[in-house]
Structure 1
Amino acid sequence: MTRWLPRAWPLLPTLLVLAAVAAMIMLGVWQLKRAGQKEALIAEVRHNPALAPRSFPAVGPVTPEVTFRRSSLHCLRVVGWQVEAGRAADGSAGFRYIARCTTGAEGQGALVALGIGGRPDMKPGWAGGNIEGWISKEPDHRSLIQQLTGPEVVLRPMLVAAASPVAELKPTALPSPDDIPNNHRSYAVQWFLFAAVAFVIYVLALKRRETRAGADS
């Protein structure tokens, strides 16, 4: 058991390596916890699209009981657009146009995923109005490190329009629990592997240094 272990362990480098290994293990455990939470969320929202429509939430967070529920809102005025990659209901890829609306109600206004266009520089001729669709939440573009170390962010509700009122835009793919990413278990395995590899490499480096020191003496 101890033959492959070095006889001497330098204090400071060993502490640094062990701290890094512990951090990677903690990240792996956190990912496993997130996997369980995500699986519970998917199971809870799977039946939501078939339920009766409900009012559009004025503020976030978007809770599981309203996620993917049918809803509607009245966009008084479009104050801006957000464009990002998206997928249309027919399976084609394109650019998703998200309208930032004022609604006249208290809260953060409303986001509406209006449809999918073929290019990112369109100017949709939609100034507002009644729109029906499904409740989702705004995209989260933070990196994993930002999610871990940054402040908590409450994502705003977003309505995914069932039909686009703009002829140039295809309807967005309908929200589905199957589209909720749940790669946390694979991420956990990766962090555990990183921890094991880092420790093994450090041990091999110490053994190599120990062998060279023995040869020189």
Structure 2
Amino acid sequence: MRRLPIIPTILVLAAVAVMIGLGVWQLQRASWKHELLTRYADAAQDDTAVAWPGASDQYDDLYYRRSSFTCAEVLGRDAIAGRNSDGEAGWVQIARCRTARGDPAAVQLGWTQDPQPISWNGGEVTGRITRYGEGIRLVADPPVEGLAANAAPDPRALPDNHIAYAFQWFFFAITALVIYFLALRRMQAKSAD
């Protein structure tokens, strides 16, 4: 019987170890994600209002919580694809504001079928905090006058696919071992001829 090639065997075993490590890491991330989603689901059920955050290090603890702020100055308006409280597709109107204390803030004013941004000059808005790119926005509840109710931010809409990623990494590790084993058998069969 021929000896195993040392360098290829070490490389394959190292790659398999890395893939298994990544699978284990994804399982740990799945546990963390389930805890996070449970915390977000609890926050979405809680109607206790929190202060609008002034710094990004406060965001994670406030997602899906009720809050409010005064839009002292409207800096810009956008319309992005979104859904209303009945699940219909259309446009949600977003206003970028400066709060009364001078911080930038975004508010999802409400839903409409028309992508043209509405005229809104600011004021007090109340709703729930959710993600918005790298920042946050307040999803107004109730919506501002002239717009329909937004779909409520739902933590169940966040992706939770770490278990699938873990199994994918474990599958890759097994596949690498099988391919290497078949390659070794083929090399041994050729050397026996």
TM-score bracket for this pair, using the shorter chain length: 0.7 to 0.9
Could you tell me which of 143, 161, 173 is aligned with 1:164? 143
Q: 177, 184, 193: which one pairs with 1:199?
A: 177
- What SS class does the counterpart of residue 130 from structure 1 fall into? strand
Indicate the percent of aligned positions where both proteins have the same amino acid: 40
* Kept in 2: contact 1:81–1:97 (CA 8 A): yes
Closer, same or farther in 2 for the Cα pair 1:75/1:187, shift >3 Å? same
Partners of 1:209 and 1:34 lie apart in 2 by: 40
1:123 corresponds to which residue? 117
Equivalenced residues, count? 191
Aligned position for 1:176? 154
**Scaled by the length of structure 1, what TM-score is found?**
0.72
* Counterparts of 1:85 and 1:17, CA distance in 2: 46
Look up the match of 1:74. Answer: 70
1:87 aligns with 2:65: no
CA displacement at 1:71 relative to structure 2? 0.9
Query: Which residue does 1:208 correspond to in 2?
Result: 186
SS of aligned partner of 1:191:
helix
Distance (Å, rounded) in 2 between the aligned partners of 1:126 and 1:171: 16
- Tell me: CA distance 1:9–1:166, structure 2 relative to 1, closer, same or farther (3 Å): farther
Indicate how the Cα distance of structure 1 residues 25 and 104 shifts in structure 2: closer, same or farther if over 3 A, else same: farther
CA contact (8 A) 1:78 1:99 kept: yes
CA contact (8 A) 2:85 2:149 kept: yes
Offset of residue 45 of structure 1 = 3.1
Amino acid at match of 1:111: A
* Structure in which a larger fraction of residues adopt helix: 2
2:95 is matched with 99
Structure 1 residues 21, 58: closer, same or farther in 2, change over 3 A? Answer: same
Counterpart AA for 1:157: I
Give the deviation of 1:81 after TM superposition: 4.8
Q: Which one-letter code corresponds to 2:35 in the other structure?
A: A
Q: Check conservation: 2:79, 2:117, Cα contact below 8 A.
A: no
Local SS of the residue matching 2:60:
coil
Q: What do the CA deviations read for 1:23-70 (whole angstroms, capped 9, x no partner)? A: 322222222112111211222233323332121111223233x22111
State which of 41, 55, 60 in structure 1 corresponds to 2:56: 60
Partner residue in 1 for 2:39: 44
Note closer, same or farther for the CA distance 1:171–1:199 as it changes in structure 2 (3 Å cut).
farther
Q: Distance in 1 between matches of 2:25 and 2:169?
A: 10
In the TM superposition, what is the alpha-carbon distance from 1:83 to its structure 2 partner? 5.6
Higher strand proportion: 2
Q: Which amino acid aligns with 2:173?
A: A
Q: CA deviation at 1:207?
A: 2.0
Change (3 A) 1:111 1:20: farther
**Which range moved further: 18-27 or 51-60?**
18-27
Q: For the structure 1 residues 206 and 56, does the alpha-carbon distance in structure 2 shift closer, same or farther, using more than 3 Å as the test?
A: same
